[in-house]
Amino acid sequence: MSEPMVTLEGVGKTFASRALVRTRSFALSDVDMVVNKGEIVGILGESGSGKSTVANIITRLLKHDAGTYRFKGRDVTGYSKAELMAFKSDVQIVFQDPYGSLNPRATIRNIVRESLIIHRPDLTRAQQDDRVSELMFEVGLGGQDIDRYPHEFSGGQRQRIAIARAMAVEPELLVCDEPLSSLDVSIQAQVLELFTRLIRDHDLTMVFITHDLNVARLLCDRVYVMFQGRVVESGAAREVLNNPQQEYTASLLEAVY
Interacting residue ranges for another protein, rule: CB under 8 A: 18, 20-22, 46-47, 56, 59-61, 84-85, 88-89, 91-93, 95-97, 99-106, 110, 114-115, 118-119, 149, 151, 154, 156-157, 162, 165-166, 169, 184-190, 192-193, 196, 211-215, 217-219, 251-252, 254-257
Inter-axis angle of helices 185-202 and 155-167, nearest 10: 20
Nearer to another protein, 8 or 58 (CB): 58
Nearer to another protein, 1 or 105 (CB): 105
CB of 211 to another protein, least distance (A): 5
φ and ψ at 230, to 5 degrees? Answer: -125, 155
Nearer to another protein, 10 or 100 (CB): 100
Q: Please state, in angstroms and as integers, the Cα–Cα distance from residue 35 to each residue in 177, 183, 235, following that order.
A: 16, 27, 12
Nearer to another protein, 29 or 190 (CB): 190
* CA atoms in the 13 A half-sphere facing the CB of 171: 27
10 Å CB burial of residue 208 (0-12, 13-18, 19+) is: buried
CB of 161 to another protein, least distance (A): 11
Q: 203 in the Ramachandran plot: left (φ > 0), alpha (ψ -120 to 50) or beta?
A: left
CB of 74 to another protein, least distance (A): 17
CB of 75 to another protein, least distance (A): 19
DSSP 245: -
CB of 124 to another protein, least distance (A): 19
CA distance 176 to 50: 14
Nearer to another protein, 28 or 45 (CB): 45
CA distance 44 to 21: 19
Nearer to another protein, 15 or 99 (CB): 99
CB of 103 to another protein, least distance (A): 5
Alpha carbon of residue 71 to chain centroid: 15
Reduce the DSSP state of residue 158 to 3 states and report it. Answer: helix
CB of 135 to another protein, least distance (A): 14
Reduce the DSSP state of residue 40 to 3 states and report it. Answer: strand
Nearer to another protein, 10 or 74 (CB): 74
